[in-house]
Amino acid sequence: MFKNYLKIAIRNLLKKKVYSFINIFGLGVGMACCVLIFMFVQEELSYDNYHEKGDRIYRVIHGSTQEGVEESEATNDFWVWGNAPVGPALKRDFPEIEKVVQFSGRADILLSIGDITQQEEGILFMDSTAFEVFSWELLQGDPKTALAAPYSVVLTESTAKKYFGDANALGQSIKGSEVAGRANAGEYTVTGILADVPSNSHFKFNLLISLNTFRQTRAEVFDDWGYADTYTYLLVNEQFDQAAFQEKIPDFIQRGNTDTEESNYMIRLEPLKDVYLRSDAQRQPGQTGSLSNIYVFSIIGIFILVIAIINFMNLSTARSMERAKEVGIRKSIGAGRKSLIFQFLGESLIIVLLAALVGFALVSVSIPLINELTAKEFQLASLINWQTIPVVLATIVIIGLLAGSYPALVLSSFRPVSILKGINNSNARGVNLRKTLVVFQFSLSIALIAGTMIVYSQMALLLDQDMGFDKEQMVVLDYNYDGDVTNVSASIKNEMEAIPGVSSVAFSRSVPGSHFPAAYTTLEMADGEMVGQAQPIFQVGLDFIDHYGLELVAGRSYSRDFPSDSTQALVINEAAARQYGYANPEDIIGKKFDQWGRAGEVIGVVKDFNYISLHASIEPLTLPFEAYASRYVSVKLTGEDIPATLAGLEGVWNQLVPHRPFIYSFLDEDFNQQYQSDFRFRKIFTTFSILAILIASLGLLGLATYTAEQRTKEIGIRKVMGANVGNIVGLLSKDFVKLILIAILVSTPVSWYAMNLWLEGFAYQVSIQWWVFLVAGVGSIIIALMTISFQSIKAALMNPVKSLKSE
């Protein structure tokens, strides 16, 4: 019996090759898309899961309450980056905390080993307890002492190979430059070699320097509750209760923080499992993911698979009449309904199994593409293991049963007497079902087309929005606070500005899109009271404001005509003026300020500019003049012969500061790096949307082909009666167009709501226009007509004599 069922299934597949191809290939593509999306989602959800004690690791986030607002109702932003003394104080006051590990914000350092000199990025000053909390594999060295002594350094395996090749790096010396505010220049000893940090880690590094190096250089930082340069992670015991712990925090702060009354300082804990996808805190130590993007991609994956299954069900129910006589004969000779259901479900499972093989082949060849789209490193081998194989087999069975259930139930319910007489009352039900499924299928397709258009519009806004500063043709040279460069900054400026193709040169500690510190700033209010606020600062050189084209809305910029500007003047942005209660920027000019040991008057207010990405609104910002805490040289080019201009800049650099590598980048490219995850989202969203539409079109082609076959005689009669090709094409197309018009009405409100939710992740967002859905609907109609027209025209051009002879 089973052998007979198998033969019949194979014969049917070979007999109707077009339908078999559409079913198998369409379902295979749908399954492949689902698998690829599953791989991406699984990778995103796996972040930091490799830590053995991950369920007991938390991190401290820092914030402040507004006056008169309860901590539980506070809406202020929290920062992961904060003060150092909070870690030891928590360990001292709470016995449920077993270990504290702290590390600095990311630093860069100039390393010299023999003839190799390179600015190494991704460096952390790390606590000696790191290996007791995090599950990092130390290949060489003692985990208890590797980060204990000052000027100890632990290299990752790839970093060790870069500098030492195949030689043993353990115990070797590395010469390191000064790390501004953290470490003096000196000799570092390699005390450990660490396996490269897994890719699914929320922060990464190339080497670790002992935190005691930082502590030896600036010990006062580790007792200063107002100095932010530390990330604090905690390992708690098994009985830890986060809610109960949080209730004790206000009392802890009152005991431990002497500045509480002024700053309204508060802290919260974040579980490690929430750090990558669920954290809203600012100043993250590394990359973060997007939970909403995971939802979007998961939904798209389900959409694609559903569309493919709908194709299968539509074609199976549409072709049910072709097998009606077979069912009638089988029933008349004693076949039971159960055996028929089993037969048709078996045929369905065979098709799904073949589709799965096609899908697996497509996944194999698509791995490089998905790696490029997601900037991750997926391996096909990760899909083949004892955990995934049962899931894959179960999925094949479920899809086979789901896709084949309705056709099997419909076919097995035919009455043999009626069927053999040519009567089939279930045909109308089948037609209605197919219409419903086509509407649903194209509702999804239209929603995806509209979503793609909105995503592209939002990405265009990110690139084209006037940021309020000049970023085009701006070259940024990074010299990492090197004091030797600062000492000759005047010569560098003069020599570079003399190069043809250079418009102007400016020095600063930060540039738009880069790291910037925060400073507690006290400023005079309208009533004369001095009020303090913590806010971001850009320490800038004398010419920075003019160089970047920042617009002054009140007062003046720094000037060489006023020597006191270097120590007693401050320029702020409009948001900072509003923060202190000045709606009119003119009113804050001349008001007193006190910031990081500098005191004087506000001399100017610049128009708000987007110095961070458009995901966030413009925050209050101060731009104090600072000649000796710079890191970047910004060079504005005229756009004439850029390669020659860059060569001239490198020549000046090598002449004046030959010890420092010439490291440059273009500001617009650096700034847009903030949107890399958004651009990847656009690529992935668009790619899978196109695939979903293609699968839907493939199913529509199958239905159009079947419809044309069923109406062969009708078409022949109409042609004999004088119908032309246009009449026939319109006849076969109008029913599908009606269904797509209904799909437009169904999909518009749903996709509008979904895309509005996605846009909430941007402070600056496009408004969704009604015409987007009109264009999406028209586009889907055009796609459908192009799909249908081929088969319709073929049917219309058929010789009516052959049509009238057909059975």
Above 80 in pLDDT, residue 343?
Answer: no
Residue 348 lies in a domain: no
Indicate if the alpha-carbon torsion angle 607, 610, 615, 620 is positive or negative.
negative
What is the reported pLDDT for 370? 87
Q: In which band, very low, low, confident or very high, does the pLDDT at 570 lie, cut at 50, 70 and 90?
A: very high
Choice between 479 and 19, residue whose per-residue pLDDT is larger: 479
Q: In which band, very low, low, confident or very high, does the pLDDT at 664 lie, cut at 50, 70 and 90?
A: very high
Residue 604 lies in a domain: yes
Above 60 in pLDDT, residue 745?
Answer: yes
Residue 295 lies in a domain: no
Domain end point (choices 177, 193, 227): 227
Label residue 627 exposed, middle or buried (CB < 10 Å: 0-12, 13-18, 19+). Answer: middle
Contact call for residues 537 and 621 (beta carbons, < 8 A): yes
For residue 389, the tally of other CB atoms under 10 A from its CB is 11
Above 60 in pLDDT, residue 803?
Answer: no
Q: In which band, very low, low, confident or very high, does the pLDDT at 335 lie, cut at 50, 70 and 90?
A: low
Q: In which band, very low, low, confident or very high, does the pLDDT at 423 lie, cut at 50, 70 and 90?
A: low
For residue 547, the tally of other CB atoms under 10 A from its CB is 22
What is the reported pLDDT for 69? 47
Q: Worst-scoring range by mean pLDDT, 35-49, 160-174, 579-593, 696-710?
A: 696-710
Residue 331 lies in a domain: no
Above 50 in pLDDT, residue 717?
Answer: yes
Residue 541 lies in a domain: yes
Span 139-197, pLDDT tens digits: 999 999 999 999 999 999 999 998 888 899 999 999 998 887 788 888 999 999 999 99
Above 50 in pLDDT, residue 565?
Answer: yes
Domain end point (choices 619, 634, 659): 659
Residue 502 lies in a domain: yes
Q: In which band, very low, low, confident or very high, does the pLDDT at 66 lie, cut at 50, 70 and 90?
A: low
Span 766-779, pLDDT tens digits: 998 888 988 888 88
What is the reported pLDDT for 260? 45
What is the reported pLDDT for 318? 64
Above 60 in pLDDT, residue 39?
Answer: yes
Alpha helices (runs of H) in 413-525, residue ranges in sequence order: 416-420, 427-464, 483-487, 489-497
Contact call for residues 341 and 478 (beta carbons, < 8 A): no
Q: In which band, very low, low, confident or very high, does the pLDDT at 600 lie, cut at 50, 70 and 90?
A: very high
What is the reported pLDDT for 261? 46
Above 70 in pLDDT, residue 9?
Answer: no
Distances (CA, A) of 761 to 179, 275, 289, 615: 35, 17, 12, 6
Domain end point (choices 227, 246, 270): 227
Q: What percent of the chain has pLDDT over 90?
A: 37
Mean pLDDT, rounded, for 575-588: 94
Give the global pTM. 0.82
Residue 669 lies in a domain: no
Non-local CB neighbours of 713 within 8 Å, separated by 6+ positions: 803, 804, 806
Span 626-652, pLDDT tens digits: 876 789 999 999 988 899 999 999 999
What is the reported pLDDT for 272? 95
Domain count, the chain: 2
Above 50 in pLDDT, residue 68?
Answer: no
Choice between 719 and 683, residue whose per-residue pLDDT is larger: 683
Q: Worst-scoring range by mean pLDDT, 86-90, 326-330, 562-566, 700-704?
A: 326-330
Q: Worst-scoring range by mean pLDDT, 237-241, 425-429, 492-496, 514-518?
A: 425-429
Residue 496 lies in a domain: yes
363 Rama class: left (phi>0) / alpha (psi -120 to 50) / beta: alpha
Span 90-135, pLDDT tens digits: 999 999 999 999 999 888 888 988 777 888 888 999 999 999 999 9
What is the reported pLDDT for 75? 44
Choice between 470 and 16, residue whose per-residue pLDDT is larger: 470
- Secondary structure E strands in 79-115: 97-104, 107-113
- Tell me the pLDDT of the chain averaged across its residues: 84
Please list the residues that pair with 176 across neighbouring strands.
111, 186
Structural domain including 626 reads 483-659
